[in-house]
Amino acid sequence: MRAGDFERAWAISDRDLAMLAYPPKHTGPRHLQRIWRGEDLRGKHVLVRCYHGLGDTIQFLRFMRPLRDVARRVTVWCQGELLPLVERAAGVDRVFALHDGAPDIDFEVDIEIMEVPHAIRVGREHVEMRGPYVSLPPRVAPPLPRGLAVGLVWEVGNWDKRRTIPPSLLGHLAVPGVTLCSLQRGARTRDLAEIGARDVSTPDITVLGHLLRRLDLLICVDTMVAHLAGALGRDAWVLLHADCDWRWPSSESHSLWYPSLRLFHQRTLGNWDDVLGEVREALIAHSASLQGVVRKELKRAQGPP
């Protein structure tokens, strides 16, 4: 899947699916349950379960439309935070909030959202984005400063803390003409002061999406915000550790999953200094380019002397 050879990926998955011995369905810890056993989804009422992270759900939401092309009905059982996005997604007939216990609806077959592309045998044409696939309901977002506003996210959840960047290193990004805006939930006051960032964070995923639309750029680690920016088609720079997750290429600067993202890789595991030095240089060039565009627009608006 990292290489984009999806036909081969599904062949390997078919082999593994046939070899594995499964416990009874819907038993054991929810996030470890193997729900789909290879059943045909054509013409069925499919319950799609979102058992993993918020970013996983956003990334794989693109497959609800091709799933709906073969299924009779698609119901998504997702994280409550994502309800405003999922209910507006193409291919979704109904959505309700994930909770402990069994789902209280009727369905014919259920599947975890990250298994949908295997089940419907998607190809590269379903993975590559041709435009944003997430839309936002109206919300009022906090005001942003004038000038070039750049969002920052540096902390991740409990899974794979190698993705986190110590906030003390982010002072590298203090570039003249750029206002740093923290989207990091729960950021400490002393960290914000050390970085020189203004706090615009929000727990509301829709407000966050509107902020991403208004920011000039997002610089973030590999976490949910990167997927949201990519799904919205917003410009973002994603900073990746040297042994990055399968969904990102090992060294390339762009991903077929999200064409609006630019990727910056560690060359040595744990060394963020080189990455941030590279990002700083790119940010200086980006700022100069945008300021040049603004000056041209102002001159054009003023007309001939």
CB 242 within 8 A of CB 232: no
What's the pLDDT at 20?
A: 78
pLDDT digits (tens, 9 = 90+) for 192-225: 999 999 999 999 999 999 999 999 999 999 999 9
Which residues make up the CATH 3.40.50.2000 domain(s) of the chain?
Answer: 148-302
What's the pLDDT at 19?
A: 85
What's the pLDDT at 17?
A: 87
Q: How far apart are CA 258 and CA 234, in angstroms?
A: 9
Q: How far apart are CA 128 and CA 144, in angstroms?
A: 32
CA 290 to chain centroid, in Å, comes to 25
Please tell me the pTM assigned to this model. Answer: 0.92
Angle among Cα 6, 9, 10 to the nearest 5 degrees reads: 90
Distances (CA, A) of 293 to 67, 73, 284, 297, 298: 43, 48, 14, 6, 9
The stretches in the chain having pLDDT less than 50 are 294, 298
Which of these CATH numbers, 3.40.50.2000, 3.10.290.10, 3.40.1410.10, 1.10.3210.10, describes 148-302?
Answer: 3.40.50.2000
Q: How far apart are CA 75 and CA 108, in angstroms?
A: 11
